[in-house]
Amino acid sequence: MNLEFLTYIIYVVTAANTTIFIGQQLYVNGAVFLERIFRSTPDFAVPVNKLLLIGFYLVNIGLVLVYTTQHAANINTLLQSVEFLVSKIGIVYLLLGIMHVFNLMVFIIIEKKINFSYTDSSLEDPARTYKKINSLNQKDINYGKSHDS
């Protein structure tokens, strides 16, 4: 096993670990956003969150792996190995940042589309609508309580 191969392996392990860490953070902290976005259909939040996480992993790890083989420089000394690692991992971090912003944009787009269609013609089925109208005041009180506590 020569130095070049070893450098590749260090690069892939570092980048994949970072991706998984960031993905977990987004999954945990994005749950609140998705619960708010899908407040009219609460059972959608967890599935959508899971699918977004899997998509994030696939695209990021794919880009990490594709990017490994591009511009493969000759690595003979330790200095060249460190230079390779620093430049590649820096670009992977930038990529993760861009994907993170993209994910937030997806949240905003879903929020607009879904809640626009619900406020536009805010009814899905009769039973639920009657319930909604009857419990409107009750709901507001409950929201206030949950925010206080």
The SS3 call for residue 71 is coil
- Distance of alpha carbon 41 from alpha carbon 37, whole angstroms: 9
The answer to whether 101 contacts another protein (rule: CB under 8 A) is no
* Residue among 26, 41, 37 nearest 107 (CA): 37
By CB under 8 A, which span of 15-23, 25-33, 60-68, 138-146 interacts with another protein? 60-68
Q: Which residues inside 103-122 make contact with another protein, applying CB under 8 A?
A: 110, 113-114, 117-118, 121
Residue 123: phi and psi, rounded to 5, are: -125, 135
Calculate helix-pair angle for 45-69, 3-37, nearest 10 degrees: 160
By CB under 8 A, which span of 19-27, 81-89, 123-131, 135-143 interacts with another protein? 123-131
DSSP annotation of 135: T
The correct pick among 25, 28, 31, 62 for binding another protein (CB under 8 A) is 62
Which residues here bind another protein, judged by CB under 8 A? 1-2, 4-5, 8-9, 12, 41, 43-44, 46-48, 50-52, 54-55, 57-59, 61-69, 72, 110, 113-114, 117-118, 121, 123-126, 129, 133
